[in-house]
Amino acid sequence: MCGRTLVRNGKTAAGKQRYRCLDCGASRSGERPDVSRRAELEAFLGWLLGSGSQAGVVAFGTPRSFRRRTEWCWNIAPRFRPRARSTTRFRSTGSMSARGAV
């Protein structure tokens, strides 16, 4: 396949989704890696930030399956955007100055 975006193109006789490349015309069936990874990441974050257990993530079957399919999520490095300007403000709240109380 040429690596371009795939579009849905019907179903196979077995009922799996079929995809076709609009540029080269090649088709394939089965899971799309980008959609699968997004679902895995959403399940991982739901488990990580939620109060449920790994056994509660029923989309992956057993807790061992969940750990195997989402182990790549631990290697994601967070990206933070730098702030445009500093938002630190200083405010006088009853402090003393050279002439007395402010």
Residue-wise pLDDT for 22-77, tens only, equals 888 887 777 667 778 888 899 899 888 988 888 777 777 888 888 998 999 999 99
The pLDDT value recorded for residue 75 is: 93
Number of other CB atoms surrounding residue 44 within 10 Å: 21
pLDDT tens digits for 4-27?
778 888 888 888 888 888 888 887
Query: pTM higher than 0.95 for the full model?
Result: no
Q: What is the DSSP letter of 49?
A: H
DSSP β-ladder status, 27-29 and 100-101 = unpaired
Domains of the chain, by residue range, sit at 1-30, 31-77
**What is the distance between the alpha carbons of residues 66 and 61, in angstroms, rounded to a whole number?**
7
Banded model confidence at residue 98, pLDDT cuts 50, 70, 90: low
